């Protein structure tokens, strides 16, 4: 068992030495206390003259602290690839179209990552409700009542042309019936889903 | 421990999430009312030039000016 020890110890010493010379990493004694103390103690018993190895979490910045009481407002960041729709806006509630259904997000929501399906996202601020049709994306709800919602395309409902939606729905339903390969079927199915969602959004 | 989560139909058909998301976005853009539709399609134009390399030298480049969704 100890035949390998000298090889392993010298390997980690040279790695530590080279990393210290090439990059200015904090010494392991300076990192925040996300280190497992039992591991550090058993390391010190085996190799007392070497610093314990660093773990990925020691390079991370400390996570923002969670307030002890639930904040009254939800901070929403809603971004698209070409624009930042809402940035740090304080609202009462957002309802997001998650794949698991419409999800209402209030301040103090449990941290969640939700994949979005094509549907309506509504931002509630007092009596003000702003609705967007989101094509797809993700919503990251953090413990500190910050919601990051990212979408590829999000349009206000007034900008959608109902007749084109009907046309598209008919076209893709027909494509779905006549599709042969798996990929064609998938594309037609996506078309049907997106157009049905837009239809429901316009009429609902 | 094998994951038994049901895969979405598009992944079962071999499509990646990015492809799925881009198709959804293109479909939504195509259903916009007029000034917004032109703006959106304009915004999403891509232009790229492709050249194959042979023997260490680039051959004649192919210029592609695609409108999205094609």
Q: What is the complex's ipTM, to 2 decimals?
A: 0.74
Q: What is the mean pLDDT of residues A101-108?
A: 93
Query: How distant is the Cα of B3 from the closest Cα of chain A, in angstroms?
Result: 18
A64-72 long-range contacts (CB < 8 A, ≥24 apart) are A64/A142, A64/A144, A65/A144, A66/A143, A66/A144, A67/A144, A67/A145, A70/A107, A70/A108, A70/A145, A71/A107, A71/A108, A71/A144, A71/A145, A72/A107
List the Cα angle B28/B30/B36 in 5-degree steps.
Answer: 90
Q: How many CB atoms lie within 10 A of CB B16?
A: 10
Q: Is A52 on the interface with B (CB under 8 A)?
A: no
User: Which residues of B touch chain A, with CB atoms under 8 Å apart?
Assistant: 9-10, 12-15, 20-25, 27-34, 36-37, 40, 43
Interface A-B: count of C-beta contacts within 8 A: 75
Of A159, A182, A191, the CB nearest to B27: A191
Cβ–Cβ of A135/B33 closer than 8 Å? no
Q: Which residues of A fall within a CB distance of 8 Å from B18?
A: none
| Mean predicted confidence (pLDDT) in A129-134 | 94
- pLDDT band with cut points at 50, 70 and 90 for residue B6: confident
**Confidence at residue A201, expressed as pLDDT on a 0 to 100 scale:** 92
The structural domains of chain A, with segments of one domain joined by +, span 71-159, 162-203
What rounded mean pLDDT belongs to chain A?
Answer: 84
The pLDDT-based confidence of A3 (bands split at 50, 70, 90) is: low
Chain A positions in Cβ-Cβ contact with residue B13 (cut-off 8 Å) = 182-183, 185-186
- Looking at every residue in chain B, the average pLDDT score rounds to 83
| Residue B32, min C-alpha distance to chain A (Å) | 4
> What integer pLDDT is reported at residue B70 of this predicted model?
40
Measure in Å the smallest separation between the Cα of A24 and chain B Cα atoms: 37
A146 close to B (CB below 8 A) = no
Residue of B28, B29, B41 for testing the chain A interface, max A β-carbons within 10 Å: B28
B9-65 placed in CATH 1.10.10: no
The stretch A76-93 carries a mean pLDDT of: 93
pLDDT of residue A66: 75
A200 touches chain B (CB under 8 A): no
In chain B, which residue's Cα lies nearest the Cα of A167? B31
Least confident of A26-35, A63-72, A78-87, B47-56: A26-35
**CA atoms of B16 and B14, how far apart (whole Å):** 7
CATH class of A71-159: mainly beta
Give the closest of A153, A168, A186 to B25, CB-based: A153
Average confidence (pLDDT) over A46-57: 87
Q: How far apart are CA A46 and CA B32, in angstroms?
A: 67
Subunit contact B21:A195, Cβ cutoff 8 A:
no
Take residue A103 and report the two structure tokens written for it: 């999800």
Give the global pTM.
Answer: 0.70
The two tokens of residue A73 are 């407002």
């Amino acid at each position: 068992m100890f035949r390998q020890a000298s090889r392993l110890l010298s390997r980690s010493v040279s790695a530590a030495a080279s990393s210290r010379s090439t990059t200015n990493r904090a010494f392991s004694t300076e990192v925040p206390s996300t280190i497992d103390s039992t591991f550090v103690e058993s390391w010190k018993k085996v190799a007392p003259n070497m610093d314990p190895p660093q773990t990925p979490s020691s390079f991370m910045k400390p996570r923002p602290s969670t307030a002890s009481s639930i904040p009254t407002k939800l901070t929403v960041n809603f971004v698209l690839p070409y624009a930042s729709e809402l940035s740090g806006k304080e609202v009462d509630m957002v309802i997001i179209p998650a794949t698991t259904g419409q999800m209402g997000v209030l301040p103090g929501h449990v941290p969640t990552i939700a994949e979005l399906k094509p549907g309506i996202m509504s931002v509630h601020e007092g009596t003000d409700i702003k609705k967007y049709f989101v094509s797809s994306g993700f919503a990251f709800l953090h413990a500190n009542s910050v919601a990051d919602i990212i979408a590829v395309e999000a349009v206000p409902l007034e900008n959608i042309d109902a007749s084109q939606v009907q046309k598209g729905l008919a076209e893709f339903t027909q494509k779905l019936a006549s599709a042969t390969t798996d990929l064609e079927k998938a594309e037609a199915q996506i078309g049907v889903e997106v157009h049905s969602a837009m239809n429901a959004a316009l009429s609902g | 421990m094998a994951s038994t989560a049901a895969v979405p139909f598009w992944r079962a058909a071999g499509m990646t999430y990015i492809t799925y998301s881009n198709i959804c976005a293109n479909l939504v853009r195509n259903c916009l009312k007029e000034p917004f539709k032109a703006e959106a399609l304009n915004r999403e134009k891509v232009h790229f030039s492709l050249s194959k390399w042979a023997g260490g030298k680039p051959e004649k480049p192919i210029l592609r000016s695609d409108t999205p969704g094609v």
